[in-house]
Structure 1
Amino acid sequence: MDGLLKNRDRIQLSEWIGRACNLVLLYKVSRDGGSAEKFHNLCDNKGPTVTVFYNTDNNVYGGYLSETWGGTDQWCIDQKAFLFKLYSVGEWKPKKFFSNGKSNNYYKSTNYGPLFANLWSFYGSPEKSCCGYKMGSTSFFSGSHFHMEGETSQSIANGHNDVTEMEVYFVKDGPLALEHATLWREQPQWNLQTFQELKEYITKYEPFEESEVPEANILLIGQVGAGKSSFLNTINSIFKGAISSRACTGSAENTLTKSFEKLRIRDPAAKKHLKFRICDTRGIEKALSIKEEDLRFIMDGNLPNHYIFNPVDSASAKVPGFVKDPTLKERMHVVVFVIDGSTLDVLPEDTLKKLKDFKTMVVDRGIPQLVLLTKMDKVCEFVEKDISNMFVSEGVEGLVTKAADVIGIPRSHVLPVKNYEKETLLNINVNILALGALRQALLFADDFLENQFEIEQENSRR
């Protein structure tokens, strides 16, 4: 039977321990029986361990020992030992509690299970309860031997140590590997062939033929700093074969995108522009956000390329170059909401409202939508180390679900990506995610063009 620790738990514990390591399950009270003898048979003299308690109120907490368990019947001190919490009432709230380094903080005895000075397990064998096991509560998270940072047994465990499960893991040195982790979404093959196939598809892309539209228009909408311009630069970098910066990016209090830009991507190998435009807009922000009227004009094809947004007033028909009677080729064919996944949990209410209002405007026009969830490497350390872990990361999966709920869109339409920001060299896995997202946007654009063509055909027969 596998342990209950999730991928994010293992990653967090590895980070706290301070080195790359894997957690190998040694002892599980429900599987191996609740006895001190069994615990010591399985865990003594094995090396560093992590003990995890799962209490009946969905709190998860435990302790790390850098020394080894044994049966010498004495209190000992481990300078590197720490206590921790992972979940509070089922909610992910990781926190580490360091040893004070001055007093004995764990006990070696054949009569006890794993025993930290402020976190006891059991003597002999744990008392069974209706929901699991009653563990010891002596000095329960009292802070006498560990720095509790204001936390107590109440805030960590609802004041009790009644558990449904307790596990002890061996800390095995070596690169963190979650090869047995469950995929939450089918993933591409992370290889050169996949990259070349995606690049070839996009290079050869032609908009839905009957529509007679020369280029698909992909509109990017998102909050300031989410990565709209960075996504454009990422796509441009892939085709240039080196990191480039067509669109202005960087840190700023307000949006760096001051104008409406319908940007083309050039394929240097074929010496031609590809058959789509990525359309960048002013970002969503508290005071100087893109106006609803501006967005309507953009989606309907009225505003000219390079239109400079007025931070105070909305656009009007008096704008130089205003397209009074736009055709299908001027309109937007797919809308991509770009959301910063690292700030999704703290997105301001006014930003959420604007995203939802804009989404309603998009739906009213029958334009298909996607969501690009950016900065996933800042959400999950495991993804930061290797982008190919994107679809086994439970943290990323949770944000995909949340983004789908926020925008009101199917989960399959939310695509996690990583833009080029700090990198100086291209990464094939970053390329695969970005090109996969672009291909999906082009497919959706064709769906819209086909729908519009059929509507025009029906109208012409009336």
Structure 2
Amino acid sequence: MDGLLTCKIKTQLSHWIGKDSQFILLYKLSRDGGSAKKFHDVCDNKGPTVTIYYNTDNNVYGGYLSDSWRTFRSNYSTDNAAFLYKLYTTGNWKPVKFPHIQGETHLEKISSGPWFYSLPSFQTSIKVDEKSLSNFYSLSTSDFFDGQRFDMKGETAQSVANAHNNVTDLEVYLVKEFLPDEELQSPWRDSKGWNLQVVQELKDSIASYEPLEEMKIPEVNILLIGQVGAGKSSFLNTINSIFKGEISFRACTGGAENSLTQKFHKLLVRDLSTKKYLRFRICDTSGVKEGATIINEDIGFILDGHLPNQYKFELDSGASTKTPGFVKEPTVKEKIHVVVFIIDGSNVSFLSKDVVKKLKEIKSLVIERGIPHLVFLTKIDEICELVSDDVSKVYKSKTVRDAVNRAADLFAIPRSNVLPVKNYEKEHELQTSINILALLALRKSLMFADDFLENQCELKQENMEALNKQD
């Protein structure tokens, strides 16, 4: 069983430690069991370690020791270079380092698991809480983030961990000198190549795409759904850039905590080489965020084609038949033909319960209507140094492969329906590998849209045959 560390977390921890570091998994609570003896057997006298707690509310926090863990009968020790930290707060990236200020830092006791002053774990042994349906471990909260030994910078146990230490897992990593991310010997997904010829073939295929003729619609509608900041609008900009021939930022993007997309946008993309619009619309929506997101009724209206372009989302109230532009009897033309869930690859393992619940509710609405759906996994350069240096290495990255597998498990879809993409963000020029991943993802969306239209066509024919029989 692999650890949950992403490139993003490794980079942040390395920055705090003060050097580029490699992290080797020594102990994993869910894999090795909640035994203090087992923890000491695999972690003692190994050197610097980082311990990571994965809280049930998608809070991720932990501690670093520059010394080795050791075993004594009962002894608190002091490591002046030790620190505590938090990385995610309810699934949102909010890294803060809590440096040591005074006194002892950690407990070196034979009957204790990894135990920091202000961040305890367990004594002797611990098992999954059998009373819970969530399979968590209820760890100690003794002196929990109390600020006595570490500078909490105004944070508390409430702001760091929702005031509890119930975890789905706990991991201890050995910290060593940095080595490059693992490159697999064989790619985990086939590729036709990473050259301009492949880019042109994909562009030609998409530019010549036409919706199923029998349905008589001008273009298919591709709906983008995802968490705030995952890159929905950035994907639109990436596709627009590719067909424009230069980097463009048609849709507003950014790292705001609240979604920058406040309206329902149905956007066409023009192929600059032919000056013609392509036969699809990318439909952008407000991002999913804990405590503030699109209501399910609005999602249903969008899927069914009721809501007009430029409809403004309201968090406390949804659309109705009285909404200006509301389409009371939508045809196949107005409906959504394929749904793409945009997921941030750098925190796919740390999505909050509320965000996951909302995404699954939306998926249920999509399935009820028989609409095909897939996942685009974004920010793959942030989870793997190998891919950050060379996007064409994406199918040889173990880290990206594992993230794809996690996303597939989360959405209960085949792994082939999870497409890694890297949006244009910091680049000033188009890059072949980035273009290929985006075009592959878009082409698969169009294929899925055709599947939906085929089903609608068959349904239409069956209804006509049933009417003819009645006559």
Same fold by TM-score, threshold 0.5 exceeded? yes
Q: How does 1:83-232 map to 2 (within 5 A)?
A: 83-85=47-49, 98=66, 150=106, 155=113, 176=180, 180-232=184-236
Shift of 1:230: 0.7
* Structure-2 change in CA distance of 1:177 and 1:348 (3 Å): closer
Identity of aligned residues (%): 48
1:27-70, Cα deviation, whole Å (9 max, x unpaired): xxxxxxxxxxxxxxxxxxxxxxx999899949797899xxxxxx
Amino acid of the structure 2 residue aligned with 1:288:
A
Conservation of the 8 A alpha-carbon contact between 1:7 and 1:393? no
| TM-score, length basis structure 1 | 0.68
SS in 2 for 1:278: strand
Conservation of the 8 A alpha-carbon contact between 1:7 and 1:178? no
Partner of 1:261: 265
Partner of 1:129: none
Conservation of the 8 A alpha-carbon contact between 1:83 and 1:96? no
* Structure-2 change in CA distance of 1:144 and 1:182 (3 Å): farther
SS in 2 for 1:250: coil
Amino acid of the structure 2 residue aligned with 1:353:
K
SS in 2 for 1:430: helix
Q: Does 1:396 align with 2:400?
A: yes
Q: Does 1:307 align with 2:307?
A: no
Amino acid of the structure 1 residue aligned with 2:364:
T
Conservation of the 8 A alpha-carbon contact between 2:245 and 2:272? no
Conservation of the 8 A alpha-carbon contact between 2:265 and 2:283? yes
Shift of 1:458: 1.3
Query: Please, which moves more after superposition, 327-336 or 422-431?
Result: 422-431
* Structure-2 change in CA distance of 1:61 and 1:215 (3 Å): farther
Shift of 1:194: 1.5
| TM-score, length basis structure 2 | 0.67
Conservation of the 8 A alpha-carbon contact between 1:366 and 1:448? yes
Conservation of the 8 A alpha-carbon contact between 1:233 and 1:245? yes
Conservation of the 8 A alpha-carbon contact between 1:84 and 1:94? no
* Counterpart pick for 1:416 among 420, 423, 430: 420
Q: Does 1:360 align with 2:343?
A: no
Q: How does 1:61-76 map to 2 (within 5 A)?
A: none
Q: How does 1:301-380 map to 2 (within 5 A)?
A: 301-380=305-384
Equivalences, count: 369
Amino acid of the structure 2 residue aligned with 1:223:
Q
Q: Does 1:280 align with 2:284?
A: yes
The alignment's C-alpha RMSD in Å is: 4.1
* Structure-2 change in CA distance of 1:5 and 1:182 (3 Å): farther
Conservation of the 8 A alpha-carbon contact between 2:184 and 2:398? no
Partner of 2:442: 438
Where structure 1 has 5 or more consecutive residues not aligned to the other structure, the ranges are 22-49, 65-81, 101-117, 121-136, 160-169
1:173-204, Cα deviation, whole Å (9 max, x unpaired): 9x948555343322341222221111111111
Amino acid of the structure 2 residue aligned with 1:83:
G
* Structure-2 change in CA distance of 1:315 and 1:359 (3 Å): same
Shift of 1:207: 1.1
Conservation of the 8 A alpha-carbon contact between 2:181 and 2:384? no
Where structure 2 has 5 or more consecutive residues not aligned to the other structure, the ranges are 33-37, 54-59, 84-105, 116-121, 125-175, 467-471
Distance 2:314 2:451 in 1: 33
Distance 1:268 1:458 in 2: 41
Conservation of the 8 A alpha-carbon contact between 1:224 and 1:283? yes
Distance 1:402 1:179 in 2: 19
SS in 1 for 2:343: strand
Distance 1:61 1:386 in 2: 35
* Counterpart pick for 1:452 among 443, 449, 456: 456
Distance 2:394 2:203 in 1: 20
Shift of 1:391: 2.1
Q: Does 1:425 align with 2:429?
A: yes
Distance 1:228 1:5 in 2: 28
Conservation of the 8 A alpha-carbon contact between 1:255 and 1:283? yes
Q: How does 1:48-63 map to 2 (within 5 A)?
A: 57=32
- Say which one has the larger Rg: 1
Shift of 1:377: 1.5
1:141-189, Cα deviation, whole Å (9 max, x unpaired): 9979995654858646999xxxxxxxxxx99x9x948555343322341
1:2-22, Cα deviation, whole Å (9 max, x unpaired): xx999989x979x7895799x
1:414-448, Cα deviation, whole Å (9 max, x unpaired): 11111112222222111111111001000000010
1:79-112, Cα deviation, whole Å (9 max, x unpaired): xxx93458999xx9998754x8xxxxxxxxxxxx
